[in-house]
Each structure stands twice: as structure tokens, then as C-alpha cells.
Amino acid sequence: MNQIVIEQSVDETRLALELNQNAAISRIRLARAKLASRAVEDGPTSPISVAFHFKSKPIVAPSDVLRLEIAFRMAGTENQKDSKKEAPDKTRDSKKSKPAVLVECAYEVDYLLRDGFAITPAHVKAFKDGNAIFNAWPFFREYLQNNLLRMGLPPLTAPFLRLQPKPRPRKQTESPAPAI
């Protein structure tokens, strides 16, 4: 199944849901973006591996607003060939260190907070690391697909993003010592 999973503890999930119930998205804007791809004649000679990354952070905002920056990155890199068969070539090595295709963007998202809701740093951390990324993911998916087409590349549908609880750690039970 093609998906990316964000796992949170039971406490993180509770805090994120509490904030979610006391906030609403009031604004989302593309704050910055970066695109790069190789020219067709310099295109990849081997299959491309795609990796997705995201991060989020709070930004200073009015007291009744939670403002978050949510940054996304998709990098497509060529799968490495068997390096033992080829002599080292600094030019080739430097090209391989750069992605064949790169799409980065960051959204600034404002959440209007309900009057009287006392937000804590724990709320913000839990929410920014889960729900906020989940909320902005469809904007990134659309941005990614449109810009890949504009670069003359096949469209890529970013994987489904899912939030789920972290598995609880297993309790290790000690086996009784064998009777002698």
C-alpha cells in the first residue's frame, strides 16, 4: 500500500484532538517554494527513487491564532549503479549527489483559536507534528503533481498520509527459572 504514516502516542493524540476541536483553519498560503529538474538530455539513466520529507514549526502570530509553517520535500534520486564496475568520476559523482527532480514548498497555515481555549506548548507540539501536516498534505499533493507536469515529467501522486497511534511497547515478562 502506498502510504506515509505519522504515529503519535495516546497523549499526543489526545492533545492534538483537543486543539483540533478548538481551532479552525482561517488561512493557508504558499510561503516559499523551490523546483529543480534535469534537462531531458541530462535525464536519468536509471530508475528514480522518490523520498518524501516534512517538518513543521510554530511562527509568531496574534494571541488568538496558531500560525504554523509546514514544509514539504520530494526528492527523486537515481538508484546507484554498481560502483565496482565503473571507475570513479568526480563529475558523475557530483551529478549523482543532486536529485534528478526536487520539489520543495512551505505553507503558512493560520488556525483561529476558540475564545477561552488555553493553548499549551504540548498542544502545539502534538498538533504541529500530526494534524497540521495532515491538513496541509492535500495542498502539497496538488502542488507536486502540477509542477511535475510543468517540468515535463510524468505526474506523481504523492502517497496517502495517515495518522495512527504509536504501538504500545510490549511488556517483557520474565520466564520463571527452570526447576532443578
Rounded to an integer, the average pLDDT of 143-168 is 90
Total domains in the chain come to 1
175 in a domain, yes or no? no
Higher pLDDT, residue 105 or 99: 105
The DSSP secondary-structure symbol of 143 reads: H
53 in a domain, yes or no? yes
Give the CATH number for residue 63. Answer: 3.10.420.10
Average pLDDT of the chain is 86
- Please give the share of the chain, as a percent, with pLDDT higher than 90: 66
172 in a domain, yes or no? no
Q: How do residues 125-139 score in pLDDT, each as one tens digit?
A: 999 999 999 999 999
Question: Hey, which bits of 17-159 come out as E strands?
Answer: 23-37, 48-59, 65-78, 101-113
In which domain, by residue range, is 140 found?
A: 23-79+97-114+133-158
87 in a domain, yes or no? no
Q: What is the pTM of this model?
A: 0.81
